[in-house]
Amino acid sequence: MLLREVEYVRPSSLDEALRLLAADDGARPLAGGQTLLNVMKARAAAPDVLVDLNAIEELKGIDLAPNGTLTIGAMTTYTELLEAAETKARPILGEVAATIADVQVRNRGTIGGNVCSNDPTNHLPPLMVALGAEMVIAGADAERTVKAEDFFLGVYLTAAGPGEVLTKIRIPAGRSDGFAAVTIGADGTCIVNAAASLNGEARVAIGCVAAVPVLIRPGGRDADAVRDAVRGADLDPPSDVHASGEYRRHLAEVVAARAIEQASARS
C-alpha cells in the first residue's frame, strides 16, 4: 500500500532533530524504518513529519571503555553490532543481532529503533533488560538515563516519550550471557524468547509473554532454579494463531532454562 503524504526532514545534529520533534506534535523519529514504514503503510501510524536520524553522527558508533562498558549509539545497525570489534567484548550482542530477520533488515534496522518500537516479539528488549543496560534519552531541555527494566512501559510504549530521542545504550562488562527463542521458522518472529546474564546477580528476562519483558531474579543459578522462578512469575502470555497462552507459559520455562544454561557454560 502507498504511504499517505508525509513531510520528511533529515537533520544533521541531535539539537536540530530535537527542535524539529518539539515543533510538531505529529513529528516522529525515523531510524531504520523497518517497523515504522510498515506500520505507516498499514495505516496503523500516521505521522505528519518524519525526522530522519540517519545523518546524525552523534547517534552512531560503538565505544568500549577500559572497564569493559560498551556505549552503543542508538543508530547502530544490527550488521554493525555483529561486525564491530568492540562488541566482541559482549559476544551475545552480535550473536542475537545475527538472528534478527534477514540481511536487508539487519543492514537498516537499528538497536535504538528495536528497543523504541518495543514490539513484544522483538529480540532486543529482553536482551537489554537481562544485560542490565542503561538507556540515555535526550529531550528538548535535558538528558536522562533510565534502566532497561524501567524503559519498557507497554506494547509499543517506552520511556522515550514524544519529542525525545534515545541517543545511546550503555551495557556493563560481562561475557556470561545466553539467549534462546522459539521462532516461527528459522530467524523468524519470536513466539517466546529469553535472555540470561550471570555477571554478578543472575538475571533472566523473558519476551512475548507480557506487554514488556518480564525480569526474573532466580534464587539459584541453574536451570531448575530458573524454571521455578518462571513458574512463580507474573506472566500474561497472549494466545494467537502461533501458540496458546498456556503453551507460551510452558515455552517461557524452556527458553529461560536454555538461556541460563548457555550463560552458565560461559561463566
What is the Cα–Cα distance from 180 to 167, expressed in whole angstroms? 28
Helix (H) or strand (E) holding 151, with range, is: helix 148-151
Residue where the block lists cell 532466580: 218
Per-residue binding letters, 16-45, with ligand FAD (x by CB under 6 A): ------------xxxxxxxxx-x-------
Q: Could you say whether residue 157 binds ligand FAD (CB under 6 A)?
A: no
Q: Cα–Cα distances in Å, from 229 out to 183, 192, 197?
A: 23, 16, 15
Residue number with CB closer to ligand FAD (28 or 221): 28
Residue number with CB closer to ligand FAD (13 or 246): 13
Q: Closest approach of Cβ 193 to ligand FAD, in Å? A: 9
Q: Could you say whether residue 192 binds ligand FAD (CB under 6 A)?
A: no
| SS3 (DSSP) at 171 | strand
Per-residue binding letters, 91-110, with ligand FAD (x by CB under 6 A): ---------xx---x--xxx
Residue where the block lists cell 518524519: 50
Q: Closest approach of Cβ 224 to ligand FAD, in Å? A: 29
- DSSP assignment of 217-235 equals --SSSSHHHHHHHHHTS--
- DSSP assignment of 155-169 equals TTEESS-TT-EEEEE
Residue number with CB closer to ligand FAD (209 or 223): 209
Residue ranges in contact with ligand FAD by CB under 6 A: 28-36, 38, 53, 74, 100-101, 105, 108-110, 112-114, 116-117, 119, 122-124, 160, 165-166, 189
